[in-house]
Amino acid sequence: MASTATIIRRILRSRGISQSGFCPYEAVLPLLPVRSQNRLPSGAQTVIFALFPYYTGEYPHRNISRYAIPDDYHLLAGNLLGDCAKALAERFAGHSFVPFVDSSPIREVEGAYLAGLGYQGKNGMLIHPLFGSYVFIGELVTTLEIPTDGKPMGPCIGCGQCLQRCPGGALREDGMDPARCRSAITQKKGELSDWEARQIAEGGLAWGCDCCNDVCPMNRKALPSDMGVFYQQGTPVITKENLAAVRKRKAFNYRSLAVMQRNLELITQQNFSPNNVSDEGKEIEIP
Ligand code: B12
């Protein structure tokens, strides 16, 4: 007879999720202090982690971070996990399966690491052996007890490239300073300091930052996403003209139109190259 883990993986695979693992709920405590805590099922026993690889190829003229090119991963991954939750609740009657992606009380990097899904990067990212750190993490918190079958892969190679080449100096040996992270700065509402504005202008990306992922040697051979949904409706270049039409389905939609307009203004005002991290050297075949 197939084990519980095998049955669950079959259900996830049938929805296109090839990478999953399990971690006892206790191991992901303490929770992050976010509102979504109230969606957690009472009597949670296990967290089923799923990875969503998002690298879909090179776009030399892109002006947003790789993760923001496909449609909003909160929706894409959330819908897939929602489908899985329904199928699992039918298969394991009496148990709850609650999906979360990103806006989750679970510390996703640490949890997915404990579930055996990748290495612990110095850049704070989970690095999958095949898909690199270009993976989103989502999870199903369940009342079902599932024995853990993966084991943590350990730290990354520790070369420190991500720390040395983080343009804002956000990454340090002892953790990260979000106030200096370009990704965080592109999300910031209201007035920016001159230094912050320059970070966006020099980065040439109106949303997110890829530096600490792109310089990572463990990402050099990262495979393109094996999930079809991440190839649909990709928008590598955001302009003042297409912004209103596409933003509703993009990850940056959670911020006001004004934030993205400000960022676009900053990257077009100046004569900086589109990206400070080169797109050269990554050759991929789109499946
Ligand atoms: C807040 C947040 C941010 C903030 C602050 C990040 C931070 N490190 O503090 C900002 C806006 C800066 C940010 C940026 C990015 N983020 Co972010 N972020 C989050 C979020 C919502 C919460 C993270 C958090 O507060 N953790 C709790 C505090 C206590 O963590 P911390 O002490 O800072 O620890 C970090 C690491 O050191 C590591 N960590 C800590 N302890 C341990 C222990 C072990 C054993 C391991 C393995 C790891 C680990 O995990 C934390 C991850 O940031 C998570 C989703 C989630 N629910 O976890 C996504 C998440 C971490 N972000 C993600 C992504 C993709 C990014 C960006 C790459 C996006 C981009 N291209 O611009 C950048 C990368 C910047 C960076 N190097 O961290 C992914 C990471 C996927 C992966 N492969 O690991 C996540 C998991 C979202 C998702 N659902 O996929 N993010």
Which of 111, 142, 173 is the C-terminal boundary of a domain?
142
> Is the distance from the beta carbon of residue 68 to the nearest atom of ligand 1 less than 6 Å?
no
Q: Give residue 270's pLDDT.
A: 54
Residue-averaged pLDDT of the chain: 93
- 209 backbone dihedrals φ, ψ, rounded to 5°: -150, 145
The answer, yes or no, to whether residue 62 has pLDDT greater than 60, is yes
> Is the distance from the beta carbon of residue 208 to the nearest atom of ligand 1 less than 6 Å?
yes
Whether 210 is in a domain gets the answer yes
Q: Which residue has the higher pLDDT, 190 or 105?
A: 105
Give distance in angstroms: CA of 151 to centre of ligand 1. Answer: 21
Whether 241 is in a domain gets the answer yes
Minimal CA–CA distance to 139: which of 170, 168, 117, 171?
Answer: 117
Output b/e per residue, 7-44; b: 16+ Cβ within 10 A. ebbebbeeebbebbbbbbbeebeeeeeeebeeebbeeb
Same domain, 102 and 130: yes
The answer, yes or no, to whether residue 88 has pLDDT greater than 80, is yes
Same domain, 217 and 94: no
Whether 52 is in a domain gets the answer yes
Please, which pLDDT band fits residue 279 given cuts at 50, 70 and 90?
Answer: very low
User: How many Å is the Cα radius of gyration of the chain?
Assistant: 19
Whether 156 is in a domain gets the answer no
Q: Give residue 284's pLDDT.
A: 36
Same domain, 115 and 203: no
Same domain, 90 and 138: yes
Whether 214 is in a domain gets the answer yes
Q: Give residue 269's pLDDT.
A: 82
- Residue showing tokens 């990262």: 222
Closest-CA residue, ligand 1 atom 81, reads 136
Mean pLDDT in residue range 145-162: 96
Same domain, 107 and 200: no
The answer, yes or no, to whether residue 280 has pLDDT greater than 80, is no
Same domain, 238 and 168: yes
**Where does 105-208 have alpha helices with state H?**
108-114, 161-165, 182-187, 194-203
Same domain, 197 and 97: no
> Is the distance from the beta carbon of residue 126 to the nearest atom of ligand 1 less than 6 Å?
yes
Same domain, 165 and 100: no
> How many domains would you assign to the chain?
2
Q: How far apart are the first and last CA of the chain?
A: 34
pTM: 0.93
Minimal CA–CA distance to 82: which of 139, 18, 150?
Answer: 139
Same domain, 77 and 109: yes
Give distance in angstroms: CA of 34 to centre of ligand 1. Answer: 14
Whether 277 is in a domain gets the answer no
Please, which pLDDT band fits residue 107 given cuts at 50, 70 and 90?
Answer: very high
Domain range for 33 is 4-142
Closest ligand 1 atom number to CA of residue 136? 90
Same domain, 119 and 211: no
Whether 40 is in a domain gets the answer yes
Whether 251 is in a domain gets the answer yes
The answer, yes or no, to whether residue 276 has pLDDT greater than 90, is no
Same domain, 43 and 137: yes
Give distance in angstroms: CA of 124 to centre of ligand 1. Answer: 6
> Is the distance from the beta carbon of residue 120 to the nearest atom of ligand 1 less than 6 Å?
yes
Same domain, 133 and 210: no
